[in-house]
């Protein structure tokens, strides 16, 4: 069995000319406490700052500060790494970090007899697929939940639905060969049932349905002509000039109490309400004595007792379990590259459960928009962040352009007040998304897109500023419009 320098013989050092990015996979050399602190190597994933702060102590001087500042050159830096399968985190200097190649390191060959070889092979296969950082974060959280913080048991803990990621090539070929060529391969149960449902719907209404797929993918996504056609896209009604009416004009299903009806001039979507920092006695006293926040207190109480389904159920679920519908599931294939509109840089790592076609997707986008109105009212920042992530998944993981009109509805809802910076997480995402997908908006739903922008000068200026910055930073990104459409399966 190799020791010391022999472990890394033939391996290439990690780059010393740039900062290593969260989610990137490398080989890391370390002292293995399970082998008497002998030198060993394993897969290491560069992790973002929150994981470093939570799992690692005694930050080295060569590491990035909590303020995001480096005090040393790239060739001297130390990074926080997660070691999947070992339930372990550590600081590693760049000189102990090596490039991950497509070929297995020779110490993990079949005849090496090395402990953990099977686990490493599976991890190596996953890492070479270049999953987004969110996948590794989910795996890290699941591993510590399964094994506990102190266990170093050498085993693989995969998120639900990811078993196909570690299948051998032979297994995949058998799986693909077991289905007729005209159907997409059933990689995982979720995608199998979703696209099966889509095929059934297509059979019934073939004359009204078109099928699209991302380049290189076999899964087909059903979109009705009226949703895919720019001429038939639902048009947003113009919003009234400020000051706005109590009820914003929108095609969102209206709940019993609208957001504008309860939100008073004292409450701001951008600044945390003082009501949420008051204890119950102070709130009651303010209401009885009709102090300055009395109207806001009344509005919040009235909105709370008036909550109806489905928003009430989603809020209950989130408060109880930090989850709510639509739930996200991991897809079989992972794409770490950044496509148009992928503001959160998660690639097509996830999908929304029980979404079979564009009609299902539109319902979920509208549902997330309505839930955002509640989250904004109650200053639930974590819920707003989760809603933003699911809207990103709704765009990334489903081809076509049918999402754009409904995302405009969400934009209209998110900016229905005269909102100024700083923006909350969803508003910031929408501004960046509209700037990046500008050409796709003008192609698919030009009229409602310009209606939304012209209805709010601040919104229009923010989008134009971001668009100009994008053009300056990546002038070639938006040149080939047909290529942008092809990237969406159009």
What is the model's pLDDT at position 436?
A: 95
What is the model's pLDDT at position 287?
A: 63
The DSSP bridge partners found for residue 88 are 83
Dist. CA 409–CA 450, nearest whole Å: 13
Domains of the chain and any CATH numbers? 4-159 (2.30.30.140), 307-487 (no CATH)
What is the model's pLDDT at position 106?
A: 82
Walking along the chain (490 residues) 10 residues at a time, the average pLDDT comes out as 62 87 92 84 90 85 88 92 93 94 83 81 88 82 86 82 60 44 35 34 49 77 57 36 34 32 32 60 67 66 73 88 88 63 88 90 93 88 93 93 95 85 92 96 93 92 94 88 89
pTM of the complete model = 0.55
What is the model's pLDDT at position 299?
A: 67
Calculate ∠ Cα 259-264-267, nearest 5°: 90
What is the model's pLDDT at position 179?
A: 42
Sort 421 into a burial class: Cβ within 10 Å, 0-12 / 13-18 / 19+. exposed
Kindly state the tokens that stand for 36: 């008497």
Please say whether the beta carbons of 252 and 413 come within 8 A: yes
For residue 321, what are the contacts with CB-CB under 8 A and spacing of at least 6? Answer: none
């Amino acid at each position: 069995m190799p020791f010391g320098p022999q472990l890394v013989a033939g391996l290439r050092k990690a780059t010393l000319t740039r900062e290593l990015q969260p989610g990137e996979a490398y080989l890391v050399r370390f002292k293995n406490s399970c082998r008497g602190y002998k030198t060993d190597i394993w897969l290491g994933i560069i992790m973002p700052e929150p994981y470093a702060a939570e799992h690692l102590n005694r930050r080295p001087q060569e590491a990035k500060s909590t303020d995001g500042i480096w005090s040393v050159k790239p060739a001297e830096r130390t990074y926080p790494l997660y070691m999947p399968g070992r339930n372990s985190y550590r600081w590693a200097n760049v000189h102990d970090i090596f490039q991950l190649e497509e070929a297995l390191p020779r110490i993990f060959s079949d005849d090496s007899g090395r402990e953990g070889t099977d686990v490493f092979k599976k991890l190596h296969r996953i890492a070479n697929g270049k999953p987004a950082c969110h996948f590794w974060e989910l795996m890290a959280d699941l591993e510590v939940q399964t094994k506990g913080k102190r266990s170093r048991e050498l085993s693989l803990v995969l998120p639900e639905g990811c078993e196909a990621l570690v299948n051998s090539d032979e297994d995949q070929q058998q799986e693909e060969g077991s289905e007729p060529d005209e159907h997409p391969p059933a990689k995982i149960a979720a995608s199998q049932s979703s696209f099966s449902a889509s095929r059934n719907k297509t059979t019934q209404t073939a004359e009204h349905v078109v099928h699209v797929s991302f380049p290189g993918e076999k899964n087909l996504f059903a979109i009705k002509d009226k949703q895919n056609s720019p001429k038939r896209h639902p048009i947003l009604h113009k919003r009234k000039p400020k000051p706005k009416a109590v009820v914003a004009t929108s095609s969102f299903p209206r709940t019993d109490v609208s957001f504008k009806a309860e939100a008073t001039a004292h409450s701001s979507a951008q600044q945390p309400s003082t009501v949420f920092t008051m204890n119950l006695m102070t709130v009651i006293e303010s209401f009885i004595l009709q102090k300055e926040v009395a109207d806001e207190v009344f509005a919040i109480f009235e909105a709370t007792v008036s909550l109806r389904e489905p928003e009430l159920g989603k809020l209950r679920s989130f408060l109880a379990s930090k989850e709510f519908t639509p739930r996200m599931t991991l897809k079989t294939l992972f794409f770490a590259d950044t496509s148009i509109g992928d503001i959160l840089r998660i690639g097509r790592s996830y999908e929304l459960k029980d979404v079979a076609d564009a009609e299902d997707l539109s319902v979920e986008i509208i549902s997330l928009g309505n839930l955002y109105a509640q989250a904004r009212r109650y200053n639930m920042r974590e819920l707003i962040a989760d809603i933003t992530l699911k809207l990103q998944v709704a765009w990334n993981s489903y081809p076509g352009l049918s999402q754009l009109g409904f995302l405009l509805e969400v934009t209209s809802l998110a900016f229905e007040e005269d909102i100024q910076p700083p923006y909350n997480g969803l508003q910031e995402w929408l501004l960046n998304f509209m700037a990046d997908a500008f050409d796709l908006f003008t192609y698919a739903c030009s009229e409602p897109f310009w209606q939304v922008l012209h209805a709010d000068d601040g919104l229009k200026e923010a989008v134009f500023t971001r668009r100009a910055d994008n053009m300056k930073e990546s002038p070639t990104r938006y040149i080939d419009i047909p290529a942008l459409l092809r990237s969406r399966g159009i």
